Structure 1
Amino acid sequence: MDRTNPVLAESPLPHGLPDYSAIRPEDYLPAFEHACAVQRTEVDRVAAQPASPTFENTMRALELSGELLERAAHTFYTVASADATAEIQEIEETLAPLMSAHQDAIVLDARLYARISTLHEALGESAGTDEERYLVERWFREMSRAGAGLDDAAKERLMALNQRLSVLTTTFEKNLLADTNELAVVFEDAADLDGLTAGELSATAQAATERGLTGTHVVTLTLSTGHPYLSSLTVRESRRRILAASRARGARGNAHDNREVLREIVRLRAERAQLLGYPDHAAYVTADETAGSPEAVHAMLRRLAVPAARNARREQEKLQAIIDGESVPFALEAHDWAFYTEKVRAAEYDLDTAALRPWFEAERVLRDGVFFAAEQLYGIGFRERDDLHAYHPDARVFEVFEPDGSSLGLFVLDLYTRDTKRGGAWMNSIVAQSELLGTTPVVVNNLNVSKPAPGTPTLLTLDEVTTLFHEFGHALHGLFARVTYPHFAGTAVFRDFVEFPSQVNEMWMFWPEVLANYARHIETGQPLPEDVVDRLHASEAFNQGFATSEYLAASWLDQAWHSLSPTAAGESIDVGAFEAAALADIGLDNPVVPPRYASTYFAHVFSGGYSAGYYSYIWSEVLDADTVEWFRENGGLRRENGDRFRQRLLGVGGSKDPLEAYRDFRGRDADIQPLLERRGLTD
């Protein structure tokens, strides 16, 4: 082992948190080169051995290989997502084809595939634990789908496709980050931002100062089409400018234009799917998810789209009625929706969600809300470790303790937006738990909350509170999973199941004893008034026509692109026309309800891990809504409920078929009715 490289050296810090203070960007490439070479030697030793395959000499040996590479990858890609300086981006671009080739060299190794196939054929007669048997099954399934059974010529083409795709997806993300930063909207006059709170204005002034534009205000863009400020800005032109900038990303004909990038991604994914024996990329992806097929996904999306579009049109009529009553009426446009929705909410429920921000101070939401719910439900504890430092000064480290006081792992929170951080919110592992490797978890939550000026409290929107609870659900999954083999560590579950635990965790933000504990006014300390809480509950289905429609529209675009055959994908496709036709096909072509993501900034599917899988959120929400019903039926925030959920679902990681784990927890398959009722989609 190259002990001189701090990326590869065993960390002296608790739970193996990388010593980022000792790592320089120039350390990464040599670390990856060395780690890849070590794993190639380890895997070659497994594949070339003369002894007949056994679980010990094949599966266990494989799981022990690549420990250095995992260390380097977790360390680097955490930074590449959250603090992607120009130097880090250059390293990522260099690594993309190298890592693709390295992975292919393993999963396409015919010798290794033959050994695992032998073990798979004997699975019915083999002993071993359930996890060991499932490990054989998953490795065989994944290698088969990866192309391990192809002939040499097909493998050579497959490897070329994979390497090119790795470059293209990295390029897509780089373009999006650059265009998002370039399109941040500059306002010379604070009056143009009338309606924002003092804290929000402070954040826009701070963003301007960081860009050398002192004296102005800069509104940075979020990953999705919409923006939180659209609900409160009174100046219509300001709303229009922000949404226009958001929707222009990746489609301006400049150096960051993503249209040809995504067209080539679609073409190559379609060709790869056909090479692997599938009609299209969507069929390839869903074959190894709980959905099983694109047809199952399409049927669900179409079933939900009809009532969602109907509800959105009803909501639109209410918004237009308010506008028609104004002194200068106009036709509702997409940039007006959020602003007038708040007027309807105020009229129907006497609620102004922007006015709730003083009750949602970030530190209190974190400690007395997110952490408190986990403490009550699972008995765990948290302590901030000011002596431990992560990859950026804004990233805070917390030690997590089991009910008996033993140390469970580390949780890193990186709350604020910055120009080097990709958009959206996510969880990832820096260290994944494995009994085989003796590792314990270190997990990260990243959000993109605007950072106010020093000394000003961070007040969250209702959506940001939801996001904090959501991402911490992922963190709990990564912290609680207890598996032997690295293959199943943390959140390594099927893509259309991975959102389930995080969505369940959202329920606690409005749970009475949790809400009462954290929703305290920043100045008076008074709790959120009970009548406001009642109105929040009463309005839970409010605007769900819009919310469901914009989500389903994005999901359908994902499916439409990835359901193209290689021949169709090879044609010259106009991105805008393709989107319009796809949305018309499912009845979600309402111009005032644009998709949550348009294709040119749809990072989930063109640079993330959700290609042909963005449907996963609503698919997982069926399980989530059904689980919320179970908690309500069984007394809610109780330790015995938390222990059952932890042991039977979160704790198994990816070491068990997810639907089997769900049946073990729930006692039956999930019912879709609670989801339909939650989103107002029942007749």
Structure 2
Amino acid sequence: MKKRVILLLSVTALVASCKEGAKQTENPLMQKFETPFQAPPFDKIKLADYKPAFEEGMKQHKAEIEAIVNNPEAPTFENTIVAFDQSGKLLNRTSAIFFNLCEAVTSDDMLALAMEISPAVTAHGDEINMNPKLFARIKTLYDKKESLGLDPLALRTLEKYYDDFVCGGANLNDEDKAKMMKINGELAKLSLQYGNNLLKETNAFTLVIDNAKDLEGLPDNAIASAAAEAKNRGMEGKWVFTVQKPSMLPFLTYAKNRDLREKLYKGYYMRANNDNANDNKAVLAQMVNLRTEKAKLLGFDTYAAYVIDVNMAKTPEAVHAFLERVWTPALKVAKQELAEMQKIANKEGMREKLESWDWWYYAEKLRKQKYDLDESEMMPYLKLENVRDGMFEVANKLYGITLEKRTDIPLYHPEVETYEVKDVDGSSLGILYLDYFTRASKSAGAWMTEFRHYTKENGKEEMPLVSVVYNFSPAVGDAPVLLTWDDTETMFHEFGHALHGFFTRGDYQRIAGTIPHDMVELPSQVMENWASEPEVLKMYAKHYQTGEPMPDALIKKIQESGHFNQGFATVEYVAASLLDMDWYSQTEPQQFDVNAFEKASMDKYGLIKEILPRYRSTYFSHIFDGGYSAGYYVYLWAEVLDADAFQAFKASGDIYNKELAAKFRKYILSEGGYDDPMGQYVKFRGQQPSEEPLLMKRGLK
């Protein structure tokens, strides 16, 4: 999952602000960062510093916009588009730091401040997007764009800004602009409320075990982690499991006590759906209605149509058709998987039909039966540090880059690691922050963000500061952190996003690194393919005690089981994607019974009761507070591209083919926003992508 805060924001204004008085010069956010790589001085920034920095940032940004619109000279690309592209630096910098930390190290005070600041920042953005004088200057240039003599990148930047303003409401009348601003302000608050409720619900549920017999079946590392969690909560001698996936999934996979598996799983899938103070049903219903109203104001029938209009898919109909092409074979395979698991359960004396909380437990038994492979066999070879070094080495073999650990970069949390990323010629590409472990102050999931993204101004480049956040179980005592296979793929996935951030290039902020939402997961998902390649596994999968590489027999089992449980994995994902599309396919605001709506949606597609959507509505953070509204489908859409792209490497006979890697870096990672996205992909691949590799990869064909 990739989250990115972008407010296109000015060095001159920032310098000026630092001369305006002692109060501002004492605020580290409003000074030049005197740190290596001008990284944020997290050790100096206090919560009280954010609000004045936001206020000053918005003040400066308004002044810059006023300077553009009141320029007596006729609009030119330089005095309008470039000036706008380079405006608002202090606001952009403050936003990137504050909102990223709201996800990674939040607190009640920080969340309260976010609830105060977010609507103000949203309103500020709306005032700019709907500024009639600014839009008039942009439209003047757009209307005569062919006669301006612009190079292709400048022309695309102009076109994108024009489209942004139209989508932001610049063409609306004054009454509708006021409605739009009110909607956006309400959505900003509701989005924060949704995420805050979910975080509280996730932290609130625990399964406390005081009888060792109830731990039967669990691996030693899962038991040790649960004991450590209990000790941290003042319950030494007991075991605590949470609904964070590193704690929950081992329990669902191995615990023999079915009643406790059910209790823990229900704690997970009922989050923010318990009719308490943290319930999200009313919140998300309001969000759906507000987004529907917004789409209607902008001339679209549905919010999905509004979102997808600028994506590769172009229309909701194209997305539905794509999802249903995968849904049909996936559901067939999932039913076969269920039948095989039911046989195992019946053979063990279970009379009941399997339920959704049984899937992981019996799927693991089925994997053991079919492939003689147990997840716990792999974990001793997946020490966190080894996996990290392995993905670094893959990047080196593909692109020639190296990563050097730094200990002089200020950290926002003591567990974070920092690395300087260097290109093949030794030049710096920026700083990578790695934040590995779960904590109560961190949102669930994994994501990449940037404290600073790549910029180029007057020929001078500023390199990115990229942050990758995971949620792995921390070490217990002197034991190392051993990852699951899913954790390992997640490591590679988010690092792929990071590479996109480091390789991004462009003269203008608007197109540097900006690619359509349904292509944004390509850089991340393609990296996952290397994780399971035998020669890559040999490189990083080493036993944490002996240092011996993963044996060939185990690698062969992993390869042979590559299609295992893919019916389930595909169905739960596509179900969530279809649910997302249904929420945002409403043509009018209405009263929602959220649970009834969700059930009707899943019944319509024939989802079996033993599988739930990967995310139910009340904890579907991607589509309500994570930027993937009417866009959760993009992971599968991008998987078509990534499967096709990796097939090119495989077909070449060299998974590190440097010629292909150079083309992928240039046309996708560096210049992905320079032209039509499919055109950029074809420049890399030489042909249109095929769905065939995806279906083969998932064992659906």
Q: Considering the TM-score relative to the shorter chain, is it more than 0.5? A: yes
Superposition pairs for residues 141-156 of structure 1, below 5 Å? Answer: 141-156=163-178
- 1:76–1:636 CA distance, 2 compared to 1 (3 A): same
Q: CA deviation at 1:355?
A: 2.1
Q: Residues of 1 paired with 2:350 and 2:322: CA distance?
A: 42
Partner of residue 529 from structure 2, selected from 497, 504, 507 = 507
Q: CA deviation at 1:226?
A: 7.4
Q: Residues of 2 paired with 1:143 and 1:294: CA distance?
A: 22
The one-character-per-residue Cα deviations of 1:141-168 (angstroms, maximum 9, x if unpaired) are 1110111000101000100000000000
Partner of residue 327 from structure 1, selected from 336, 349, 354 = 349
Partner of residue 103 from structure 2, selected from 64, 75, 81 = 81
The one-character-per-residue Cα deviations of 1:184-228 (angstroms, maximum 9, x if unpaired) are 322223432333333222222222233333332222223799734
Q: CA deviation at 1:505?
A: 0.5
The one-character-per-residue Cα deviations of 1:24-61 (angstroms, maximum 9, x if unpaired) are 11111111011011001101211222211111000110
Q: Residues of 1 paired with 2:375 and 2:352: CA distance?
A: 25
Q: Is the 8 A contact 1:232 1:354 kept in 2?
A: no
The one-character-per-residue Cα deviations of 1:341-394 (angstroms, maximum 9, x if unpaired) are 111111111111222100000011101x11110111111111111222321111
Q: CA deviation at 1:234?
A: 2.1
Q: Residues of 1 paired with 2:78 and 2:633: CA distance?
A: 38
Letter in 2 for 1:606: F
Paired position in structure 2 for 1:416? 437
- 1:155–1:374 CA distance, 2 compared to 1 (3 A): same
Q: Residues of 2 paired with 1:680 and 1:16: CA distance?
A: 48
Q: Residues of 2 paired with 1:357 and 1:188: CA distance?
A: 26
Letter in 1 for 2:310: D
- 1:656–1:220 CA distance, 2 compared to 1 (3 A): farther
Paired position in structure 2 for 1:374? 395
Q: Residues of 2 paired with 1:56 and 1:149: CA distance?
A: 23
Q: Is the 8 A contact 2:215 2:255 kept in 1?
A: yes
- 1:560–1:223 CA distance, 2 compared to 1 (3 A): farther
Residue 554 (str. 1) matches residue 573 (str. 2): no
Paired position in structure 2 for 1:586? 605
Paired position in structure 2 for 1:532? 554
- 1:666–1:226 CA distance, 2 compared to 1 (3 A): farther
The one-character-per-residue Cα deviations of 1:397-425 (angstroms, maximum 9, x if unpaired) are 11111111122111110000001100100
**Range with greater deviation from structure 2 (203-212 or 146-155):** 203-212
Partner of residue 115 from structure 1, selected from 137, 141, 146 = 137
Q: Is the 8 A contact 2:313 2:319 kept in 1?
A: yes
Q: CA deviation at 1:656?
A: 3.1
- 1:255–1:644 CA distance, 2 compared to 1 (3 A): same
Paired position in structure 2 for 1:404? 425
Q: CA deviation at 1:301?
A: 1.2
Superposition pairs for residues 141-220 of structure 1, below 5 Å? Answer: 141-220=163-242
Letter in 1 for 2:35: L
Aligned CA RMSD, in angstroms, stands at: 1.5
Q: Residues of 2 paired with 1:632 and 1:417: CA distance?
A: 36
Q: Is the 8 A contact 2:36 2:408 kept in 1?
A: no
Residue 471 (str. 1) matches residue 490 (str. 2): no
Q: Residues of 2 paired with 1:223 and 1:616: CA distance?
A: 22
Letter in 1 for 2:648: W
Paired position in structure 1 for 2:692? 673
Q: Residues of 1 paired with 2:33 and 2:209: CA distance?
A: 46
Match of 1:636, SS state, is: coil
Q: Residues of 2 paired with 1:33 and 1:411: CA distance?
A: 29
Letter in 1 for 2:627: G
- 1:199–1:225 CA distance, 2 compared to 1 (3 A): closer
Residue 63 (str. 1) matches residue 63 (str. 2): no
Q: Residues of 2 paired with 1:218 and 1:148: CA distance?
A: 53
Q: Is the 8 A contact 1:227 1:243 kept in 2?
A: no
Paired position in structure 1 for 2:634? 616
Q: Residues of 2 paired with 1:128 and 1:206: CA distance?
A: 62
Q: CA deviation at 1:243?
A: 0.5
**Range with greater deviation from structure 2 (349-358 or 253-262):** 349-358
Q: Residues of 2 paired with 1:611 and 1:262: CA distance?
A: 11
Paired position in structure 2 for 1:283? 305
Q: Is the 8 A contact 1:187 1:218 kept in 2?
A: yes
Paired position in structure 2 for 1:431? 452
Paired position in structure 2 for 1:344? 366
Paired position in structure 1 for 2:14? none
Letter in 2 for 1:43: I
Residue 132 (str. 1) matches residue 151 (str. 2): no
**Range with greater deviation from structure 2 (399-408 or 639-648):** 639-648
Task: Give the share of equivalent positions with the same residue, in percent.
Answer: 39
Q: CA deviation at 1:677?
A: 1.3
Paired position in structure 2 for 1:486? 509
Q: Is the 8 A contact 1:39 1:66 kept in 2?
A: yes
Partner of residue 383 from structure 1, selected from 404, 409, 412 = 404
**Range with greater deviation from structure 2 (36-45 or 117-126):** 117-126
Q: CA deviation at 1:331?
A: 1.6
Q: Is the 8 A contact 1:282 1:559 kept in 2?
A: yes
Q: Is the 8 A contact 1:623 1:670 kept in 2?
A: yes
Q: Is the 8 A contact 1:202 1:452 kept in 2?
A: no
Superposition pairs for residues 258-269 of structure 1, below 5 Å? Answer: 258-269=280-291
Match of 2:462, SS state, is: coil
Residue 664 (str. 1) matches residue 683 (str. 2): yes
Letter in 1 for 2:547: G
Q: Residues of 1 paired with 2:296 and 2:245: CA distance?
A: 32
Q: Is the 8 A contact 2:572 2:613 kept in 1?
A: yes
Match of 2:489, SS state, is: helix
Q: Is the 8 A contact 1:225 1:596 kept in 2?
A: no
Residue 651 (str. 1) matches residue 670 (str. 2): yes
Q: CA deviation at 1:482?
A: 1.2
Q: Residues of 2 paired with 1:355 and 1:673: CA distance?
A: 32
Letter in 2 for 1:206: A
Partner of residue 565 from structure 2, selected from 536, 539, 543 = 543
Q: Is the 8 A contact 1:193 1:238 kept in 2?
A: no
Letter in 2 for 1:656: D
Match of 2:435, SS state, is: strand
Match of 1:497, SS state, is: coil
Q: CA deviation at 1:586?
A: 1.7
Paired position in structure 1 for 2:538? 516
- 1:225–1:146 CA distance, 2 compared to 1 (3 A): farther
Q: Is the 8 A contact 1:231 1:338 kept in 2?
A: yes
Paired position in structure 2 for 1:639? 658
- 1:538–1:83 CA distance, 2 compared to 1 (3 A): same
The one-character-per-residue Cα deviations of 1:110-154 (angstroms, maximum 9, x if unpaired) are 111111112112222232332211110110111101110001010
Q: Residues of 2 paired with 1:573 and 1:311: CA distance?
A: 33
Normalised to the residue count of structure 1, the TM-score between the two structures is 0.97
The one-character-per-residue Cα deviations of 1:250-291 (angstroms, maximum 9, x if unpaired) are 110110000000000011110111011001110110011111
Match of 1:418, SS state, is: coil
Q: Is the 8 A contact 1:269 1:281 kept in 2?
A: yes
Q: CA deviation at 1:513?
A: 2.5
Superposition pairs for residues 42-61 of structure 1, below 5 Å? Answer: 42-61=64-83
Paired position in structure 2 for 1:273? 295
Q: Is the 8 A contact 1:509 1:515 kept in 2?
A: yes
Match of 1:218, SS state, is: strand
Q: CA deviation at 1:454?
A: 3.4
Q: Is the 8 A contact 2:451 2:466 kept in 1?
A: yes
Match of 1:612, SS state, is: coil
Unaligned stretches of 5+ residues in structure 2:
1-16, 18-23
